[in-house]
Structure 1
Amino acid sequence: MQQLTQKLGSGDMVIQELPYPQVGKGMVLVRNHYSIISAGTEGSTVTAARKSLIGKAKERPQQVKQVWDTLKKQGPVQTYRAVMKKLDAYSPLGYSCAGHVLEVGEGVTEFKVGDKVACAGAGYANHAEVVAVPINLCVKLPDTANLKQAAYNTLGAISMQGVRQADMRLGETAVVIGLGLLGQLACMILKASGVQVIGIDVADAPVKQALKNNSVAAAFTRNTAGIEAKINALTSGQGADAVIIAAATTSLDPINFAGAITRKKGKVIILGAVPTGFERDPHWYRKELELKMACSYGPGRYDLNYEEKGIDYPYAYVRWTEKRNMEAFQRLIETKTIDIDYLTTHEFPFEDAPKAFDLVVNRTEPFSGIALKYNVDTAISKKPISVGVVQPNGKVAISFIGAGSYAQGNLLPNIPDSHAVTRIGVLTNTGTTSKRVAEKFNFGFCAAKEQDVLDDKTNTLFIATRHDSHAEYVLKGLQAGKNIFVEKPICLNEQELDNIIAVQQNVQKPVMIGFNRRFSPLVTQLKQKLGSGAMSMIYRVNAGSIPKDNWIQDMEIGGGRIIGEACHFIDLLTFINGSLPKTVSAMALPDPNGLNDTVTITIQFENGSTGVVAYFANGSKELPKEYLEVYASGHTAILSDFKELKIYGKGKPSKKKLLNQNKGQKEMVAAFVNGLLTNGQSPIPMADIFAVTRATFKVLESIQNGSQPYAV
């Protein structure tokens, strides 16, 4: 299928052939009939992409700071890879579309194949022939629906949420500042609610458009002489009950102007992207004005449970969610309560989408809404998309399922270049990522379905998806007879672990997990010096805070930080002392969100060694992340953030300092591939993988049961 993409680095925009989207649980697959270009949001994205690197840096100072922080902590190689991943990626465009349902995912009951639907969401409702959308970002339409108008779905919901935040009553007066698409839609929705609407814009064309189409009672350009007096006269000398700012600017004029024209104790709603540093006097303070933000489509936005898992808010307690806003907008269209037909000033066939964006960026002629129309009669194939010439299979034939930031920065670049290693295919949730990864890392094709990477061409499967799918893909890979490399964790619960153990022991295929730290050169040196045997170990991890709404913190998707990350540190202690965990206990610092990510873990090993993992999410960002001390037989080793190792014994301490941090990713991938080439085995014993994984589950049990020790 074809999709419009752009590279952030070069600004190159192209329609290209990409793999069919994956239809996950709770999702629907939609064939687009129309999608709408948002001149504001998408226009700024495209404009920024076409700027020089310096221009991009000026627009994104926060990201520049992140790059600098990465450089200081991880060195130039990892920083370069992270930056180039962003710049070279194929970025999807679009977030508002309409079409008909092609397929429904597991658990979907409210949609069926053939239904007309309108879709929303950046990364979902793209400018593409086919899109995969979660059910709470998709609304069902009547058979009579006009799909071009319905494609304004996202923009309509955003405007409606702004109107809801204004909370206006019949007969009140609203001023809408900014008469682009969002502003025009807000005007129509307000008018349909019985509100007198006054429109303001800096340009003459949108003012005339609003007046001509009767969406406002009055409208003025911002530079109209005596504009405040005119608005005052239209509001019986009181000022507007509410002002909705739907503009996009860095100027403070909209917020200060809103203060001047709003009545005492009135409201100002920020719908667009404007600064809010208003002047306190003479208006905002003396009038006791109320400032409110409108968060995109409405309640549910940015909530993983709502948008990704499809968990709805109770109707009685959250009357208007983002999906209900979309449904209400579509009803206004269907009943002809509002007529948005005039908003579409241009329509382009999808294959001319780059020309449409040239119009947006260069503004060669006046425009408002720009619709892209798709040819729905063309056949769409689910076949893999060939990228390069597939070489004859070597002894190790690799495919990837999942290829996000970590895989692109730490796994894919470190696959050895060898005639014995063949790169077969790549499968990810998004075709844009699959295509770019396949091109950049010389794979033969990007896949459209699981079977493409589970057939006989592949004998080694790398799994780098979100944590909740690891166990599923490990089992599918083993049952298909593949060698497995899976990013940590291998699974999220003991039942999944038991299933993996049973299948692995039956098929006798190696399973490798991404415990890279044991392969770090400084760890290798430490191990050689201290050997195995009873030792005492203290591992302090300044992990830093991750918001509770991040997918990693979600126990169903990410497993939480103990299962998702602390497994690394338990594994390293296991490797260093040379025996398996025997018992574990843990206690967590109480926190209001119950995240259990500031925790102290105590481990006793089979050979008598003891280890403490002090995992802290509440420390300073300025402190290096990882610090390890190991005491054994009169020696003490201190490893500082995988950049410096000191070993104390008799005489002068030995020291080794690296120019850049090395956590062993390159060495880990090489060890795995070389193990397959030489003896067909994983460099990490199965017993270590399974015991360390089970230990993380026991850590959670211990926390839940008052720090009680649990046998592993």
Structure 2
Amino acid sequence: MQQLTQKLGSGEMAIQELPFPQVGKGQVLVRNHYSIISGGTEGSTVSAARKSLIGKAKERPQQVKQVFDTLRAQGPVQTYRAVVKKLDAYSSLGYSSAGKVIAIGEGVTEFKIGDKVACAGAGYANHAEVVSVPVNLCVKLSESADLKHAAYNTLGSIAMQGVRQADLRVGETCVVIGLGLLGYISSLLLKASGVNVIGIDIALGSVELALQHKIVDEAYVRDTPCIETKIQQATSGIGADAVIIAAATDSLDPINVAGAVARKKGTVVVLGAVPTGFERDPYWYRKELELKMACSYGPGRYDFEYEEKGVDYPVAYVRWTEKRNMEAFQRLIEKGLVDLEYLTTHEFDFDDAPQAFDLVASKSEHFVGIALKYDVHKVISREPVVVNEGPTLGKVSISFIGVGSYAQSNLLPNIPASPDVARIGVLANTGATSKRVAERFKFSFCSDSEADLLSERTNTLFIATRHDSHAEFVIKGLKADKHIFVEKPLCLTEEELEQITTLYLAGGRSLMVGFNRRFSPLTSDLKEKVGSAPMAMIYRVNAGSVPKDTWIQDVELGGGRIIGEACHFIDLLTFICGSLPSTISAIAVPDAHGLNDTVTLSIQFKNGSTGVIAYFSNGSRDLTKEYIEVYSGGVTAIIQDFKELKVYGNGKPYKNKLVSQNKGQSEMVGAFVSSLLSSSECPISYQDIYAATKASFMSLRSLQNGSIPYDVLAL
């Protein structure tokens, strides 16, 4: 299928042949008939991408700061990779479309194949022939629905949330500042509600269109003399009951004009992207005005549980969610109460989408709504997309499932360049990511089908997906007789661990988990210096806080931070002392959300060694992340953030300082591939993998049962 993409670095825009997006649990696959270009949001995105690097830096100072933070923490190599990945990625455009359902994901009951639907959401309702959308960002339409009008779904729900925030009654007056697409739709919704509407815009053409089609009752160009007096006259001296700012500007003028034209105790709603540093006197303070923000489509927006997992809010407590806003907007269109026909000032075939965006960026002529029309009679192939002509087979033939930031920065760049190593296929959630990764790292094809990657062409599978799918893909890979490299954690439940263990022991393939820290040069150096006597180890991790509503903290999706991350540190202590854990206990500092991510793990190892993992989410970000101390036989060794090793004892202190941080990712990938090439044992024994995974489960059990120690039963 084809999709419009743009590179942030060069601004290059193209229609690409890509694999279908993945249809996850609670999602529907939709063939677009129309999508709408937002001149404001998308126009600014496209314009920013076309600027020079200096121009981009000036526009996004926060991201520049992040680059320097990464440079300080991880060094130039990782920083360079992160920047290149960002600049060279194929970015998706679009967030409002309509079409027909062609497939449904697990757990979906409210849609069926063939349904007409309207779709919303950046990253979902893209300018593409086929999109995959969560059920709470998709609404069913009637059979008679006009899909071009329905494609305004996202813009309509954004405008509706602004109108709801204004909380107006029949006969009241609202001033709409900014007569672009959002301003027009807001005005139409207000008029359909029996509200008097006065529009203001800096462009005469926008004002004339609004008056011509009676979108507003009155409208003025911003520089109209005595504009405040005119609005006072139009409202019988009362002023506007509410003001909706639908403009996009860096100027303070809209917020100050809103204060001037609003009545005393009135409401100002910020719908567009404007600064809010209003002048306190004479209007805002003396009128006791109320400022409200309209958050996109409405309640549920940016809520992971609602949007990603499909958990709805009870209607008795949240009457108008983002999905219910979308449904209400579609009903108004269907009943003819909101007429969008004249808002589509331009229509382009999807093949001509780059020219449509040239119009948006250049503003060479007046436009409001720009619709992209798709050829729905065209046959769309689901065959793998061939990217590079290269060796189809090698002694090690690698495919990747999941190619997010970590994989692109730490796994893919470290695959050895060897004639014996073939790069076969790539599969990611989005076709744009799959295609770009396949191009950049020289894989033969990208696909949306697991079967293509589990075929006989692949003998080695790298899995770098979200945590909740690790076990699923490991099991599928082992059943397909593949060597497996999986990012940590191996799995999220004890049942999954036992199922994987049974399959692994029954087969003859390697299974490796991405416990990279044991491969760091500093770890190897430390292990040599401290020897193998029973030792006491302290591992402090200044992990930093992660919001409760991210997938990492979700027990079902990420496993929480103990299972998702602490397994790393359990493995490293296991490697350093050369012995498996025998018992583990855990105690956590209470937190408001019950996340248990400021936790101390105490481990007893079979050879008498002890280890303490102090995993803290409540520390300062100015402190380095990882600090390790090892005490053994009169020797003390310290690793500082995998940049420096110091060893005390036996004479003059030993010091090994690296130019930049090295957590062993390159060495780990190299060791794994080398073991396959030489048909030798996996670099990490399955006993160690099993023990680290089991210990993370037992630490959770300890937390749940008063911090009592639990045995870590060996394989």
Give the TM-score normalised by the residue count of structure 2: 0.99
Residue in 2 aligned with 1:670? 670
Deviations 1:551-604 (A, max 9, x none): 111111111111111111111000000011111111111110111111111001
Instruction: Tell whether the 8 Å contact from 1:20 to 1:381 is kept in structure 2 after alignment.
Output: no
* Shift of residue 198, structure 1, vs aligned partner: 0.5
Q: AA paired with 1:440?
A: R
Which whole-Å CA distance do the structure 2 matches of 1:25 and 1:409 have between them?
A: 28
Larger CA deviation: 648-657 vs 436-445: 648-657
Residue in 2 aligned with 1:28? 28
User: What residue ranges of structure 2 are gaps of 5+ in the alignment?
Assistant: none
Q: AA paired with 1:265?
A: K
Instruction: Tell whether the 8 Å contact from 1:510 to 1:680 is kept in structure 2 after alignment.
Output: no
1:170 aligns with 2:164: no
1:704 aligns with 2:704: yes
Task: Write the mapping of 1:86-165 to structure 2, written as runs, cut at 5 A.
Answer: 86-165=86-165
* Shift of residue 390, structure 1, vs aligned partner: 3.1
Q: AA paired with 1:701?
A: R
1:602 aligns with 2:602: yes
Taking every aligned residue pair, what percent have the same amino acid on both sides?
Answer: 72
Which whole-Å CA distance do the structure 2 matches of 1:450 and 1:651 have between them?
A: 57
1:413 aligns with 2:413: yes
SS at 1:199 equivalent: strand
* Shift of residue 392, structure 1, vs aligned partner: 4.1
SS at 1:103 equivalent: strand
Instruction: Tell whether the 8 Å contact from 2:644 to 2:658 is kept in structure 1 after alignment.
Output: yes
1:441 aligns with 2:453: no
Residue in 2 aligned with 1:51? 51
Residue in 2 aligned with 1:683? 683
Which whole-Å CA distance do the structure 2 matches of 1:371 and 1:421 have between them?
A: 46
1:265 aligns with 2:260: no
Q: AA paired with 2:272?
A: G
Residue in 1 aligned with 2:432? 432
Task: Write the mapping of 1:591-630 to structure 2, written as runs, cut at 5 A.
Answer: 591-630=591-630
Instruction: Tell whether the 8 Å contact from 2:159 to 2:183 is kept in structure 1 after alignment.
Output: yes
Residue in 1 aligned with 2:491? 491
Q: AA paired with 2:261?
A: I
* Shift of residue 262, structure 1, vs aligned partner: 0.6
Task: Write the mapping of 1:253-332 to structure 2, written as runs, cut at 5 A.
Answer: 253-332=253-332
SS at 1:370 equivalent: strand
Which whole-Å CA distance do the structure 2 matches of 1:137 and 1:661 have between them?
A: 42
SS at 1:33 equivalent: strand
* Shift of residue 34, structure 1, vs aligned partner: 0.3
Which whole-Å CA distance do the structure 1 matches of 2:311 and 2:550 have between them?
A: 16
Residue in 2 aligned with 1:216? 216
Deviations 1:112-167 (A, max 9, x none): 01110000000000000000111100000000000000000000000000001111
Deviations 1:502-547 (A, max 9, x none): 1111113211001000000000001111222310000011111111
Q: AA paired with 1:219?
A: A
Task: Write the mapping of 1:301-700 to structure 2, written as runs, cut at 5 A.
Answer: 301-700=301-700
SS at 1:568 equivalent: helix
Which whole-Å CA distance do the structure 2 matches of 1:502 and 1:222 have between them?
A: 73
Instruction: Tell whether the 8 Å contact from 2:67 to 2:79 is kept in structure 1 after alignment.
Output: yes
* Shift of residue 338, structure 1, vs aligned partner: 1.0
Residue in 1 aligned with 2:192? 192
Which whole-Å CA distance do the structure 1 matches of 2:433 and 2:533 have between them?
A: 46
Instruction: Tell whether the 8 Å contact from 2:410 to 2:666 is kept in structure 1 after alignment.
Output: yes
* Shift of residue 7, structure 1, vs aligned partner: 0.1
SS at 2:117 equivalent: strand
Which whole-Å CA distance do the structure 1 matches of 2:13 and 2:262 have between them?
A: 43
Instruction: Tell whether the 8 Å contact from 1:434 to 1:447 is kept in structure 2 after alignment.
Output: yes
Deviations 1:621-664 (A, max 9, x none): 11010000000011100110001101111211111000100000
Give the TM-score normalised by the residue count of structure 1: 0.99
SS at 2:614 equivalent: strand
Instruction: Tell whether the 8 Å contact from 1:98 to 1:147 is kept in structure 2 after alignment.
Output: yes
Instruction: Tell whether the 8 Å contact from 1:519 to 1:668 is kept in structure 2 after alignment.
Output: yes
Residue in 2 aligned with 1:6? 6
Which whole-Å CA distance do the structure 1 matches of 2:535 and 2:402 have between them?
A: 38
* Shift of residue 50, structure 1, vs aligned partner: 0.2
Which whole-Å CA distance do the structure 2 matches of 1:672 and 1:421 have between them?
A: 12
Which whole-Å CA distance do the structure 1 matches of 2:503 and 2:411 have between them?
A: 25
Instruction: Tell whether the 8 Å contact from 2:488 to 2:565 is kept in structure 1 after alignment.
Output: yes
Which whole-Å CA distance do the structure 2 matches of 1:484 and 1:392 have between them?
A: 19
Residue in 1 aligned with 2:65? 65
Q: AA paired with 1:430?
A: T
SS at 1:485 equivalent: strand
* Shift of residue 680, structure 1, vs aligned partner: 4.3
Which whole-Å CA distance do the structure 2 matches of 1:169 and 1:125 have between them?
A: 33
User: What residue ranges of structure 1 are gaps of 5+ in the alignment?
Assistant: none
